[in-house]
Structure 1
Amino acid sequence: MRKTAASILIVDDDDDILFSARISLKKYFTSIVTENNPKKINNHLTKNTIDVVILDMNYRIGFEDGKEGLYWLKNIKEVSPETTILLMTAFGSVNLAVEAIKKGATDFILKPWTTEKLYAAVNAGVELARSKRKNTQLETIQEHQDKEFHKKTEHIIGNSSAMKSATNLVSKVAPTDANVLILGENGTGKFVFAKEIHLQSSRKNYPFIHVDLGSLNENLFESELFGYAKGAFTDAQKDTLGRFELAKGGTIFLDEIGNLPLHLQSKLLTVIQNRKVTRLGEGKERDLDVRIICATNAPIHKMVDEQTFRQDLLFRINTIELNLPALRERADDISLLAAHFLHKLTQKYRKKINGYSNEALKAMENYHWPGNIREIEHIVERAVIITDNPKIEVSDLHFSTKKIDVNLGGSLNLEDSEKILIQQAIQKHQGNISRAAKDLGLTRAALYRRLEKHQL
């Protein structure tokens, strides 16, 4: 018989009872812990995830009123609300046990017990604890999910050899639990591919949690990703799950991982390497059961050479590396994408438009698409809104024709190029950070970091 993965804590001042209960349960559950001093209950609860506590009602000789049991019952409920509490009591204390159930205990076990009844009560308690944790996870997901999580994922569209190669790799890697690193320019569909890997995996019925590391405040990194305990900092009013715990059983997608500072990379590496997470302000390690997918538009291998990205972290996240082609490298797919977005957007805006003129299609196929798929959707949306023609014409398409004149004085230094591009983007958009960031293919947070780096 295969043991159930669960942690059971038995608390009683009678060592014979502890020994007997442990012998009865150890063949059914993976972890049985015994404790004869109720004052040490909190140590067990804070160090480990306890599914069920079997709690005696009386601990002092001559006192049979059960007040100590009720006290520790209340304590367990406060410290670990998802833990199931079963009471052990003698036959004459059934009324007391009923009172305790009204105060939060799940069931009671009469002494002496039979192994069958003890197992049935504990097994039901384990299932209840798991159900509570799952409900907490789902409730927190509902509270904390950003709009992008709920947004319907675009289909992967394309018949080019580059896209067929990418989708073929997805079909091979999705059924595994291998960590995947998705590389590609902004707008190439990294989020869409990450979601597709999740949907083709055995984890598809569990959460898909998207974390934009580029926009995550450094000071909130640990609390957001790893969670925090009540009282860990001023505004920590309750125990809160981090993104890793929210993704339990499913997939966590760490987007823009190339923007993560070195000192935070080491913290992420520890979690990925050990497959355990510790909430801020708490000492208890919690096991992680998540699939990890990362993505970046940064030249991450070059960053390793420059020692701005940890090589050991790269080894951990790129068991499989998926490179997404830029739209200019898959020109055969432009007409397919244009048709897809036209169909989608004419429905959204309730307009009847019968395709594109030949000239418009040719113009789209000849354009270099620096913003990739995101840009083609933007241009088609604008055309659908403004056109009065039965078909989309060239005049309806607003391509970005202005090229930035980058004068480097003969220098091809990457840092110099980045600084000048940022300066010209801010100048072009008259100091509007949001528009400049969008033009550069960055988040506002990522652009602010680069402004600070270049002292602009």
Structure 2
Amino acid sequence: MIKGKILIIDDDPGIRDACFHVLTRSGYEVEMAAEAYEGLQILEQYDFDIVLLDLKMPGVNGLEILEKIKETDPLTEVIIITAYGSIETVVEAMRKGASDFLQKPFNPDELKISVEKAFRRRKLALENIYLKNTLAEKEGKNIIVGISQTIKQIINMARLVAQTDSTVLITGESGTGKGLLARKIHEMSPRASGPFVAVDCGTLVPTLFESELFGHVKGAFTGATEHKIGKFELANGGTIFFDEIGNISIEIQAKLLKAVEDKEISPVGGHRVSKVDVRIVAATNKDLEEEIKKGGFRQDLFYRLNVVSIHIPPLRERREDIPVLARYFLKKFAKKYRKKILDFEEEVLKTLSQYAWPGNVRELENTIERLVIFANDALITLSDLHLAGFKPKKESFFPDDLPLEEIEKRYILHIFQKYGGNKTKTAQILRIDRKTLREKLRRWGLA
């Protein structure tokens, strides 16, 4: 997995090559420029996290290049390389926005330490800006928090599909935020002013499910003492969301299919047929295609629901989102409990990021709430973690009770991420062809 992108601007080929080899072996993607204006042209076309800049190059004042880099992107970290600079020059470079400097000759460890510190500063600055923007949104508005490429793609897909009336099927493990995404799709749609009605398919009593969906007339069954409006009718003009739709019985699936196809409903015990104008979004933590093979889910209903499919990966597969989510929940609960807690110690974030989070975002949110309740200082420390009862077991890559298909999925994704999403290299390591790999990634919503 690529840690970040670095540009080296230096006229000395020995320095360029040495830095390139050290940094690429450390997991960074590195570009090189032999002179300043070539470097500026590259910066105009691509974004970089860090620039290594030589202050002394033929016919160029390195401080001017530094100013242009910071004008283009103030968050780009610039590390000055110099064999000639006096203390005054270095001070001036730092004043103009450089974050560090390396005096030639420097060793590989000095280079790696300086780059790692710069990369952490850059990442923290981006996270803070993201949080400021999201927290500035209206109170109560649904916010999807994350900086991973996966989350960005999911938000973009949601934004595009929200402008249509297409049925959406959201898949993912429990606690990943499927319900939150469903609400976000509704909020971004032309139906935003209409109702959003959620149906929890996992908690409703099967015998009353039909009544919940379509309503009933007085006297339709024992206990029906008055007329009741169903969820479909309540959602008219808006969105109806079926959470964990894989839990409903085959019998109810048949009636739901008709409502989905015809957008017509009839209350239990009644003969009146009503047209409803609803957008349907469904979510499940089950593999519905496997359920179809077992006879537990109707294939025709699946095709009706799976017009647009969005998969939310578990938190363990997008660990870069963990610090951002943790800080988001910290601000949320610090405000709720009126505590002046500003941040986490770095070791705390490291510990949180290394945990597998089987309960996903929901488990992380509950953990941060407990931490805020027990913490008393401005920074949350490792001792606060223990006080709040957070004692993560060492993560097992392949737990004993893991199905074979999940073991295969985890191993393939491990290799895929290790080689930075390079499909050709991943297929070579796994000894399968690219088409097979592509099909597996597509099935897991990662193509």
Relative to the length of structure 1, the TM-score reads 0.55
Q: Deviations over 1:296-348 (max 9, x none)?
A: 11111211122211110000111000101111111111111111000000011
CA distance in 2, matches of 1:178, 1:283: 29
Find the counterpart in structure 1 of residue 266 from structure 2: 278
SS in 2 for 1:342: helix
Residue 401, structure 1, aligned to residue 401, structure 2: no
Residue 380, structure 1, aligned to residue 371, structure 2: no
Kept after mapping to 2: 8 A contact 1:153/1:192: no
CA distance in 1, matches of 2:393, 2:297: 34
Residue 238, structure 1, aligned to residue 226, structure 2: yes
The one of 140, 151, 160 aligned to 2:148: 160
Amino acid at match of 2:278: V
Equivalence map 1:56-455=2 (5 Å): 152=140, 154-397=142-385, 398-399=389-390, 401-402=392-393
CA distance in 2, matches of 1:302, 1:219: 25
**How many Å apart are 1:404 and its aligned residue?**
11
Judged with a 3 Å threshold, the aligned counterparts in structure 2 of structure 1 residues 411 and 188 are, in CA distance, closer, same or farther, namely: closer
Find the counterpart in structure 1 of residue 10 from structure 2: none
CA distance in 2, matches of 1:239, 1:410: 48
Count of residue pairs the alignment pairs up: 263
CA distance in 1, matches of 2:364, 2:330: 10
CA distance in 1, matches of 2:391, 2:280: 36
Q: Deviations over 1:30-83 (max 9, x none)?
A: xxxxxxxxxxxxxxxxxxxxxxxxxxxxxxxxxxxxxxxxxxxxxxxxxxxxxx
Kept after mapping to 1: 8 A contact 2:246/2:286: yes
Give the gaps of 5 or more residues in structure 1: 1-150, 415-456
CA distance in 2, matches of 1:393, 1:174: 41
Amino acid at match of 1:183: T
Find the counterpart in structure 2 of residue 77 from structure 1: none
**How many Å apart are 1:236 and its aligned residue?**
2.2
SS in 2 for 1:209: strand
CA distance in 2, matches of 1:327, 1:395: 24
Judged with a 3 Å threshold, the aligned counterparts in structure 2 of structure 1 residues 403 and 234 are, in CA distance, closer, same or farther, namely: farther
Judged with a 3 Å threshold, the aligned counterparts in structure 2 of structure 1 residues 337 and 192 are, in CA distance, closer, same or farther, namely: same
CA distance in 2, matches of 1:352, 1:270: 54
Which 10-residue stretch deviates more, 322-331 or 394-403?
394-403
Judged with a 3 Å threshold, the aligned counterparts in structure 2 of structure 1 residues 342 and 410 are, in CA distance, closer, same or farther, namely: closer
**How many Å apart are 1:393 and its aligned residue?**
1.0
Q: Deviations over 1:85-142 (max 9, x none)?
A: xxxxxxxxxxxxxxxxxxxxxxxxxxxxxxxxxxxxxxxxxxxxxxxxxxxxxxxxxx
CA distance in 1, matches of 2:401, 2:206: 36
**How many Å apart are 1:410 and its aligned residue?**
9.4
Kept after mapping to 2: 8 A contact 1:387/1:396: yes
Find the counterpart in structure 2 of residue 41 from structure 1: none
**How many Å apart are 1:288 and its aligned residue?**
1.4
Which 10-residue stretch deviates more, 348-357 or 395-404?
395-404
CA distance in 2, matches of 1:337, 1:404: 20
Q: Deviations over 1:153-183 (max 9, x none)?
A: 5410111111011011001100100000000
CA distance in 1, matches of 2:315, 2:371: 19
CA distance in 1, matches of 2:206, 2:303: 23
Kept after mapping to 1: 8 A contact 2:323/2:349: yes
Amino acid at match of 1:249: G
CA distance in 2, matches of 1:409, 1:327: 20
SS in 1 for 2:331: helix
CA distance in 2, matches of 1:357, 1:388: 14
Judged with a 3 Å threshold, the aligned counterparts in structure 2 of structure 1 residues 246 and 330 are, in CA distance, closer, same or farther, namely: same
For the aligned residue pairs, the C-alpha RMSD in angstroms reads: 2.3
SS in 2 for 1:313: helix
Kept after mapping to 1: 8 A contact 2:341/2:376: no
Kept after mapping to 1: 8 A contact 2:171/2:283: yes
CA distance in 2, matches of 1:410, 1:153: 39
Judged with a 3 Å threshold, the aligned counterparts in structure 2 of structure 1 residues 400 and 175 are, in CA distance, closer, same or farther, namely: farther
Rg: which structure is higher? 1
CA distance in 2, matches of 1:373, 1:211: 21
Kept after mapping to 1: 8 A contact 2:340/2:377: no
Q: Deviations over 1:353-398 (max 9, x none)?
A: 1200011011111111111111111111101111233211122224
Amino acid at match of 2:230: G
CA distance in 2, matches of 1:382, 1:369: 15
Judged with a 3 Å threshold, the aligned counterparts in structure 2 of structure 1 residues 330 and 410 are, in CA distance, closer, same or farther, namely: closer
Amino acid at match of 2:378: P
Kept after mapping to 2: 8 A contact 1:153/1:195: no
Judged with a 3 Å threshold, the aligned counterparts in structure 2 of structure 1 residues 311 and 210 are, in CA distance, closer, same or farther, namely: same
CA distance in 2, matches of 1:308, 1:233: 27
Relative to the length of structure 2, the TM-score reads 0.56
**How many Å apart are 1:262 and its aligned residue?**
1.4
**How many Å apart are 1:412 and its aligned residue?**
5.2
Kept after mapping to 1: 8 A contact 2:198/2:242: yes
Q: What fraction of aligned residue pairs are identical, expressed as a percent?
A: 44
Amino acid at match of 2:341: I
Judged with a 3 Å threshold, the aligned counterparts in structure 2 of structure 1 residues 250 and 408 are, in CA distance, closer, same or farther, namely: closer
**How many Å apart are 1:400 and its aligned residue?**
5.2
SS in 1 for 2:217: coil
